[in-house]
Amino acid sequence: MHVRPIDPSTATVTVNFHLEDPEALTGRAEDDVTVKGAKGQNLLEVALMNGINVEHACGGVCACSTCHIYLESGGQNVSEATEAEEDRVEEAPGLQRNSRLSCQCVIQGDGPITLRVPSWNRNAVKEVPH
């Protein structure tokens, strides 16, 4: 997926990632990663730009559910889920009330935002046919 470049000076929103399987996502053992995102970026872009390889089978166009994350706090700082997103996210394994598709969560507020990337994020892609 092409990650749109941003002006680093606009990356002022704190985004905390809790990684249940950090080795698989980053190749490192660190499971709490705090980075900065910019308004207008979605959370998938923020992850990929910072070396957190959240799955994104459809390339971020709301046509799969592989970028599923749990939005733990700061939800008021991202765009609300559309009907299309809600329909898609229902297909994700491990659905919870705070389930979102990271490619559809566009940063709109000043943060902070905290999300969790479940450990089955990677395996789901290989095991669930689409």
Summarize as ranges the residues that interact with ligand FES (CB under 6 A): 56-58, 60, 62-64, 66-67, 88, 101, 103
Closest contact distance (angstroms) between CB of 93 and ligand FES is: 14
Report the distance separating Cα 32 and Cα 17, nearest Å: 6
Nearer to ligand FES, 38 or 81 (CB): 81
Nearer to ligand FES, 51 or 110 (CB): 51
Closest contact distance (angstroms) between CB of 9 and ligand FES is: 27
b/e per residue, 21-54, with b = 16+ CB within 10 A? ebeebbeeeebebebbbbbebbbbbbbbbbebeb
Backbone angles phi, psi at 17, to 5 degrees: -105, 130
- Cβ neighbors of 19 (< 8 A, separation 6 or more) are 25, 26, 30, 31, 32, 33, 52, 116, 117
Closest contact distance (angstroms) between CB of 19 and ligand FES is: 17
Nearer to ligand FES, 33 or 45 (CB): 45
Nearer to ligand FES, 25 or 101 (CB): 101
Closest contact distance (angstroms) between CB of 80 and ligand FES is: 16
